[in-house]
Amino acid sequence: MLTPEQRDRYRRDGYIVIPNFKAPDEIARLRARAGDIVDAFDPAESRAIFTTRDQARASDAWFLGSDNTIRCFFEEEAFGPDGRLKQAKALSINKIGHAMHDLDPVFKAFTHDAKLAAVARDLGLEQPQIWQSMYIFKQPGIGGEVRWHQDATFFDSTPISVTTFWFALEDATIENGCLWVEPGGHCGPLRERFLRDGDAIAMEKLDGTPWPDDSTAVPLVAKAGDLVCFHGLLPHYSAPNRSPVSRHAFTLHVTDARTAYSPRNWIQRDADFPVRGFD
């Protein structure tokens, strides 16, 4: 599936962009399904998060409870000072997560794709395990920033194997908040580890290496249908979306079963709901 040049580039830069990976009809089906999930979502269910005094703990619980199910998350700027949505619900959701790839037939079909299995193999994932899916809306005007981070922070294994598959479902531009990465940055250390202990979460600082700045970061402008694959140690971020255009993307986080998945990662599976690969 990947050419030797693409594999070399991935090893050198820590990422590759594969143009036109998904066809317009596959994207249209995923987008429609995401729209249906948001339509069916009752904001009252998690609105409490933004009105309770114990906001941080309630929002952590809503997040932690989404590990092996399907939940919607609001954009931080979705609500006015009166606690009401400033725009329609469909334009207020930041993302859907985190197990659609196993629980929803449309997301499942998009994920379990022989072409994708071949790419994963070519990137060195011999026994892929898909832990997480996210549908990211990056809404017009209020799409939130995602600060610099490495995905291995959330999917630690020994040795590190997590690989991110990032599908552009709409054109991603500098204006609407495309990804920024530091080419070659995957050769640096893991800076932080996100740890779960029951209902408690904590960010552990591991290494003080500074995050990239404008001198080394490059924007990954992508067209709808493009697939970006990147290494779990690659530093990346995305700016807020202040443009009038949304920037939908879908992501999968995948480790290799030959590496030891940390029992302290926030997403775990048990025998009733085993983690699967692309087959």
Site residues for Fe ion per CB under 5 A: 151
Give the Cα separation of 86 and 77 in Å (integer).
9
- CA distances for 73 relative to 176, 237, 275, angstroms: 19, 19, 23
Task: Say how many C-beta atoms besides its own lie within 10 A of residue 105's C-beta.
Answer: 9
With contact defined as beta carbons under 8 Å apart, do 140 and 91 qualify? Answer: yes
CB of 275 to Fe ion, least distance (A): 19
Q: Which is nearer to Fe ion, 1 or 146 (CB)?
A: 146
Q: How far is the CB of 75 from Fe ion (least distance, A)?
A: 17
Nearer to Fe ion, 41 or 162 (CB): 162
Chain position whose Cβ is nearest to Fe ion: 151
Considering the complex, state which of residue 75 and residue 151 has its C-beta at the smaller distance from Fe ion: 151
DSSP for 188-241, written as a single string: S---EEEEEETTEEEEEE---PPPP-TTT-EEE-B-TT-EEEEETT--EEE--B
Nearer to Fe ion, 13 or 151 (CB): 151
In angstroms, give the least distance from the CB of 149 to Fe ion: 6
Least Å distance between CB 85 and Fe ion?
Answer: 26
CB distance 110 to 78 below 8 Å:
no
Provide the minimum distance between the beta carbon of 277 and Fe ion in the complex, in angstroms, as a whole number. Answer: 21
Name which of 151 and 182 has its Cβ closer to Fe ion: 151
With CA atoms as reference, report the closest residue to 98 among 129, 128, 63.
63
Taking the complex as a whole, the smallest distance from the CB of residue 66 to Fe ion amounts, in Å, to 16
E strands, the chain, are 15-18, 70-74, 93-98, 128-136, 146-149, 157-158, 163-168, 179-181, 192-197, 200-205, 218-220, 227-231, 236-238, 249-256, 260-261
Shortest reach from residue 278's CB to Fe ion, in Å: 20
Q: Who's near 59: CB < 8 A, 6+ residues apart?
A: 49
What's the rounded Cα separation, in Å, for the pair 261 and 238? 27
Asked whether the beta carbons of 142 and 75 are under 8 A apart, the reply is yes
Closer to Fe ion by CB, 139 or 238: give it.
Answer: 238
Q: Which is nearer to Fe ion, 79 or 230 (CB)?
A: 230
Tokens (6 digits) for 92: 């207020």
Nearer to Fe ion, 102 or 151 (CB): 151
- Least CB distance from residue 151 to Fe ion, whole Å? 5
